[in-house]
A = this chain, B = another copy of it.
Amino acid sequence: MRRKTWQRDAVRDELEQQSGFVSAQGLHATLVTQGTAIGLATVYRALADLASDGDADSLQSDDGETLYRACRTDSHHHHLICRQCGRTVEIEAAAVEKWARKVASDNSFTHEYHVIDIFGLCPDCAK
């Protein structure tokens, strides 16, 4: 039984405020700057819980950070991410899902899953 704490709510609320993927450290810094006294370890734990509960998506950045985002939809989807500002657009494409499954089965691989992220520069960041 997971207990309700203001810390978890604060993390979830702030994550939903963000327009793109953010790191645990970044979110913690934001909260502290806003005057919310919360421990870094607590933010790490809250984000990990959100991700494992399916309430947040996560991905690994190039420099080895885990980034999180509260997505608008519960269904499986992918992301188009600005590599500059992190701004993110959710992408759904049944054709690509089908392709991935076919590639796996064509090679007799089972229990398929995939990592598909598209990066670029958003209009704003392209100046």
Taking Cβ atoms with an 8 Å cutoff, the residues of A that contact B are: 60, 62, 64, 66, 80, 82-83, 89, 91, 93, 95-96, 99-100, 103-104, 107-123, 126
Interface contact B99-A80, CB-CB below 8 Å = no
Interface contact A119-B112, CB-CB below 8 Å = yes
Q: Which of B89, B96, B115, B120 contacts A119 (CB 8 A)?
A: B115
Q: Which of B89, B100, B117, B119 contacts A118 (CB 8 A)?
A: B100
Tell me which residues across on chain B come within 8 A of A104, comparing CB atoms: 80, 118, 120
Docked complex Cα distance between A56 and B62 (Å) = 16
- Additional A-B contacts beyond A104-B120, A114-B116 (16; CB < 8 A): A60-B60, A60-B62, A60-B64, A64-B66, A80-B103, A80-B104, A80-B107, A93-B103, A103-B118, A104-B118, A107-B122, A110-B126, A114-B117, A114-B118, A115-B119, A116-B117
CB of A126, distance to nearest CB on chain B (Å): 5
CB of A88, distance to nearest CB on chain B (Å): 10
Docked complex Cα distance between A103 and B93 (Å) = 10
Q: Which of A103, A118, A122 has the most CB of B within 10 A?
A: A118
Tell me which residues across on chain B come within 8 A of A80, comparing CB atoms: 103-104, 107, 109
